[in-house]
Structure 1
Amino acid sequence: MTTFDTEIDSIGVVADDAARLLAAYEAGSSFFFSAPHSVLLARGVAATVPKTHCAREELPRRVSDFLYSATEFGRRNPIVVGAVPFGGSLPAHLVMPEEVVRAAPLNVVVPQAPRSRAPDCAVRSVPTPAEYERSVSRVLRRMADGELSKVVLARSLELTAGGPVDVRGMLRNLALADPASYTFAVDLPRRGEDGTRDSFGPQPRLQRTFLGASPELLVSRRGTQVRSNPMAGSRPRSADPVEDRRLAAELSTSDKDHREHAAVVDAVVQALRPFCGNLGVPAPSVVGTGAMWHLATEITGELRDPATSSLELADALHPTPAVCGTPVQRAREVIAETEPFERGYYAGMVGWCDAAGDGEWVVAIRCADIEADSLRLFAGAGILAGSDPADELAESAAKFRTALSAMGLDQVV
């Protein structure tokens, strides 16, 4: 195992504590979570939360009971880490690690973006670009009939490399390319396995990884302080500085994008209101990632009941219209009818929750599901009245570039 005093100056970074945690990550036995304010590395698995293929509203209680049981084994403020899927076809995968190490946020100096040699990959688009545009057109007709007001339609890229994927290298590149994003890596059971164990003790090593660099905080809880940062409405970034500024300005004044964003903010506020008082909802701002400009609103509040956990808040919020649509249930149905693949953990949530209820959960976007030599990437676009199928296809292609750039495959889409 890589030790925490390993120097990684060879990739052009300052070897601070956070960078050492990044270097210490090992696929199959670690959970990594980098936020703008801190870095968390969890290693080993003491136990897996059992019976997580349950009604969604039961999950926070099951996790709370699990953490309480862990204290009976003498653990002080134990935590769970992991991922919750978009829908109900898969169980949540949440584990209590053997060891948790934290550090201040990444303090990196990257003279140029770290690059790996681009692997030879076979690429399959599901659906094809033409099929995706036709799906957008069909959804727009349903909107015209009044069925719903927004649907987030996703597409997938299936890549097969010539050998095992360099998961650690991808994670490093994602984290160093944009330390302000939420970079994550979660070990998952192999497809066809549920990965659950009902007792504490040695757990199997997992060989599947879900990783990404999400710009969107679903919710965090620190004591009684709650924060959420919904994003909706976006434009691809441009390498031309003048064009890039123009795209940001266009987004800031776009009626369509502001309507889309307002619907997401309203849904988040309504979900948080039963739990929080003193909700602060400022005007949206334009924020940038390496690939996209987004409209974002940082919502803050204070818990009415200190017993409410971060996972309970996340469960109440998930899925927001930013990854699903409005009304949510009808949008879910249209997604299931239209998308020719299972989302799995894409558009779900990734994060952690401790026995005190504190924690942080991000929306699982800009992500890849990796097993051996295969990767599945996901990207979606919000479809509203007035959407143009070609524009939505271009937006999804831009969102793929976050993960593709980490592999050196920028030109795939």
Structure 2
Amino acid sequence: MDTLVMENSAPAQAASPPDFLFTSGQGTISAYDLGQPITTPACEWPLLERQIARALAAAEAAGQANPLLIGAFAFDPAEASCLYVPGRYERGVRMASEPMTFAAKAALASAPASNQVISVQSTPAAAEFKASVSSALDAFAQGRLSKVVLSRKLSLTLHKPADPEQVLARLMSQNPHAFHFSLPLGQDRRLLGASPELLLRVSGGEVFTHPLAGSAKRGNEPEQDKRVAQDLLASHKDQHEHRLVIDEIRRVLAPHCRELAIPANPTLMSTDTLWHLGTPIAGQLHAGQASVLSLACQLHPTPALCGYPTDLARQFIREQEPFRRALFSGIVGWCDSQGNGEWAVVIRCGVLDGHQVELFAGAGIVAGSDPAMEWAETGTKLGTMLKALGLDLEVAQ
């Protein structure tokens, strides 16, 4: 069940779906009356910080004791953000035994069994994606890069329009412990997803992050699945990819923390489709140190989403990827006026617009990566959203 704590300037309409939803193991944020978005890119941080402060102050003046900032930052800090300070919101305490909200259960019960694809296009296509992986391998051999994350977009036209509430309900059912999010983008477009990865959480001076890097498709049978997991844990390539991420997070967080505990080795984490290498990192911030928002913007994008070194990897992505990522592989979440909050990585996601759907997936490329296997990995990752849409997984191949 959901235990609600409301922070409103007007009574909430319990029956109406929220304009914005974010769920995690810590609870749910349901927001209403979003108003106009703050779209200033993260690279203009001084201006963006002032705009956020003004919006939070206005909400406090309107009667909110602890107003929230919600929304998403783009992958590229030079691209537009999509942030709001809602007129009202509800915080729900999501119980482990009841990972789905009542509204999600109702939407799932009414969801049609399947949909049909009228047209599909991958950008880039398989040959172009594999060529980009080969170019990345050349860059590694020349010492210009250590890692880069390459991605693709799957553009679909569906027979029946996708219902955001039903898709979100299916995501909650498929991946009950993920970070679920639903964010309006304007003109009836909506960003939805079920991310397995937390970028950063800050609560009362405690900081926590759980980066994922290195993955493998789950096996169909229990014994095969167990072997896949153990092979991933023993993989030198995946351990190297993971270490690049951990070292960068340590570099960013250590100056802000009086304590920072980082396990020596990653552990296994699973979704319905993949095994991941993950490392839970916990720390104590210095008194009066940075808020979750400023820390998240310093961390983002980590090598798990971009590559390493970050600036060179981002430039490589701009040169190789024939589409703009926008909010895909950005971060989504919330923060309050006291500096607490939670931000997850925008992956396992898509943008819904009636009959038109755009899905996204990426793969981390390091020395030793195989172009065909990396293409297949993106197909596996696209499976999360394809299943939630009631579509055949072969669409991604």
Structure-1-length-normalised TM-score: 0.86
Match 1:157 to one of 130, 150, 154: 154
SS at match of 2:94: coil
The AA in structure 2 aligned to 1:81 is I
Contact 1:80 1:96 in 2 (8 A): yes
Per-residue CA deviation, residues 357-405 of structure 1 (Å, 9 max, x unaligned), is 1110001000001222211111111111111101111111110011111
Q: Which residue matches 1:55?
A: 43
In the alignment, structure 1 residue 96 sits paired with structure 2 residue 85? yes
CA contact (8 A) 2:162 2:389 kept: no
The Cα of 1:177 is off from its aligned counterpart by 1.5
2:26 corresponds to 1:37: yes
Given residue 215 of structure 2, which amino acid in structure 1 is its aligned partner? Answer: S
- Displacement, 1:269? 1.1
Q: Residue 320 of structure 1 corresponds to which residue in structure 2?
A: 302
Counterpart-to-counterpart distance in 1, 2:296 and 2:42: 16
The residue number in structure 2 matching 1:395 is: 377
Deviation sequence 1:58-86 (CA, Å, 0-9, x none): 33453234313432333211001111111
* Alpha-carbon contact 2:202-2:292 (below 8 Å) kept: yes
Q: Distance in 2 between matches of 1:328 and 1:403?
A: 28
Tell whether the 8 Å contact from 2:217 to 2:273 is kept in structure 1 after alignment: yes
**Aligned match for 1:256, one of 237, 251, 259:** 237
The question of whether the paired residues in 1 share the 8 Å contact of 2:348 and 2:382 is answered with yes
Structure 2: any 5+ residue segments left out of the alignment? 5-11
Q: Secondary structure at the match of 2:255?
A: coil
1:70 maps to 59
What's the counterpart of residue 209 of structure 1? 190
Q: Does 1:119 align with 2:100?
A: no
Structure-2 change in CA distance of 1:90 and 1:272 (3 Å): same
> Could you tell me which residue of structure 2 aligns to residue 83 of structure 1?
72
Aligned to 2:394: 411
Please state how far the C-alpha of 1:237 moved relative to its aligned partner: 1.2
Measured after TM superposition, the shift of residue 135 of structure 1 is 1.3
Do 1:57 and 1:315's aligned partners in 2 also have CA atoms closer than 8 Å? Answer: no
What amino acid does structure 1 have at the position aligned with 2:41?
H
**Structure 1 Cα separation of the partners of residues 54 and 287 of structure 2:** 18
Which residue number in structure 2 is paired with residue 182 of structure 1?
A: 179
8 Å contact 1:34–1:179 — kept in the other structure? no
1:181 maps to a residue whose letter is A
Identity %: 39
Using the TM superposition, give the Cα deviation of residue 17 of structure 1 relative to its aligned residue in structure 2, in angstroms.
2.5
CA distance in 2 between counterparts of 1:325 and 1:233 reads 13
Deviation digits for residues 94-145 of structure 1 (CA, Å, limit 9, x no counterpart): 112222122222534899x977422121211111112211111111112111
What amino acid maps onto 1:215 in structure 2?
Answer: P
Which amino acid counterpart does residue 120 of structure 1 have in structure 2?
Q
- Secondary structure at 2:40 match in 1: coil
* Residue-by-residue CA offset, 1:297-351 (whole Å, 9 max, x unaligned): 1111111133521111110100000010000000000000000100010000000
1:88 shift after superposition: 3.9
The answer as to whether partners of 1:233 and 1:257 remain within 8 angstroms in 2 is yes
Output the CA distance in 2 between the equivalents of 1:159 and 1:393.
Answer: 18
Shift of 1:257: 0.5
> Could you tell me whether the CA contact under 8 Å between 1:60 and 1:315 is conserved in 2?
no
Q: CA deviation at 1:189?
A: 2.4
Q: Distance in 1 between matches of 2:376 and 2:3?
A: 35
2:83 and 2:15 mapped to 1: Cα distance?
Answer: 21
Larger mean CA deviation between 58-67 and 347-356 belongs to 58-67
| Structure 1 residue corresponding to 2:212, chosen from 222, 231, 238 | 231
Contact 1:148-1:326 at 8 Å conserved across structures: yes
2:266·2:278 contact (CA, 8 Å) conserved in 1? yes
Larger mean CA deviation between 34-43 and 314-323 belongs to 34-43
- 2:8: which partner in 1? none
In the alignment, the residues of structure 2 paired with residue 129 and residue 179 of structure 1 have an alpha-carbon distance, to the nearest angstrom, of: 31
Deviation at 1:277, TM superposition (A): 1.7
Q: Give runs of aligned pairs for residues 298-309 of structure 1, distance below 5 A.
A: 298-306=280-288, 308-309=290-291
**Residue pair 1:153, 1:380 contacting (<8 A) in 2 also:** yes
Structure 2 equivalent of residue 364 of structure 1: 346
- The offset of 1:54, in angstroms, is 5.6
C-alpha displacement of 1:42: 1.2
Residue in 1 aligned with 2:144?
A: 147
Q: Deviation at 1:39? A: 1.7
Q: Alignment partner for residue 287 of structure 1, among 269, 283, 290?
A: 269
Q: How many residues are paired up?
A: 376
**Residue identity opposite 1:395 in structure 2:** E
Moved more, 304-313 or 329-338: 304-313
Q: What secondary structure is seen at the aligned counterpart in 2 of 1:344?
A: coil
391-400 or 157-166, larger mean C-alpha shift: 157-166
Counterpart of 2:247 (choices 255, 263, 266) is: 266
Partner amino acid for 2:131?
A: R
SS at match of 1:274: helix
2:311 to 313, 329, 333: 329
Q: CA RMSD in A?
A: 2.3
TM-superposed deviation, 1:25: 6.6
Q: Normalising by the residue count of structure 2, what TM-score does the alignment of the two structures yield?
A: 0.89
For the 8 Å contact 1:307–1:357, the answer to whether it is kept is no
1:311 alignment partner AA: L
- The SS at the match of 1:63 is helix
- Give yes or no for contact 1:275–1:305 (8 Å, CA) kept in 2: no
Distance 1:75 1:328 in 2: 39
CA gap 1:56/1:264 in 2 versus in 1, 3 angstroms: farther
The DSSP-based 3-state class of the residue aligned with 1:351 is strand
Cα distance in 2 for partners of 1:24, 1:176 equals 21
From 331, 338, 361, the counterpart of 1:379: 361
